[in-house]
Amino acid sequence: MDDLTLAGGFSDPAQQSAQAFRAVMSALARPGRIEAVRGAEPPAPLSQAAGVVLLTLCDPETPVYLTPSLDLPSLRQWIGFHAGAPIVGADECSFAIGPWEELLPLDRFRQGCSEYPDRSATLLVETPLLEARGATLRGPGIRDTAELSLPEIAAFQQNARVFPLGLDFIFTCGDRLAALPRSTEVV
């Protein structure tokens, strides 16, 4: 195990994971809202925000899928050491992480079933830009409308149509994140 694997985790795990959990839950409860997070310094090319989400929400019982550009020994070891999460294939994961183009097609990820709609995947989409403008969002947690820069619109419209099944999304860019739960309508 090298120094890169050991470094970059939370220096104060109890405090930092609580703050990060609150930011992630706030983003999920208020789709389109952008939250700043700190505390993790994962190996490149993973963003700080994505590292924070992985350290906060993943554990040895949370399988993670890494897209090809992120499926690197340094990231596998870092996630394994700091979160204990196993790295698995797309069809087995609870969390998938990577750039939008590498996460497609979305139908290869678990989308829940009528008995257990919560048994679906959450996709962490690494984006080069994250802004509160672009696609219009409506639904739970949004007073009237909100806006969020999305990589496309059709996939999210289709995802909302299968609610309560479907995928949840967390977009990460640098030290910021925003969320798009499956209950959000994209217009």
Q: For residue 127, what is the domain's CATH number?
A: 3.40.50.11310
Q: Measure the CA–CA gap between 96 and 122, rounded to whole angstroms.
A: 6
Burial class (CB in 10 A: 0-12, 13-18, 19+), 163: middle
Residue 180, CB half-sphere, CA atoms under 13 Å: how many?
30
Reading the chain (187 residues) residue by residue, the pLDDT tens digits are 566 567 888 999 899 999 999 999 999 999 999 999 999 999 999 999 999 999 999 999 999 999 999 999 999 999 999 999 999 999 999 999 999 999 999 999 999 999 999 999 999 999 999 999 999 999 999 999 999 999 999 999 999 999 999 999 999 999 999 999 999 999 9
Residue 132: name the closest of 65, 180, 62 by CA.
Answer: 180
Query: How many structural domains is the chain composed of?
Result: 1
Helices (H), the chain: 3-6, 13-29, 48-57, 73-82, 100-103, 154-161
Q: What domain range is 32 assigned to? A: 3-186
Provide the whole-model pTM. Answer: 0.95
Q: Is the backbone of residue 61 left (phi > 0), alpha (psi -120 to 50) or beta?
A: alpha
CA distance 71 to 25: 27
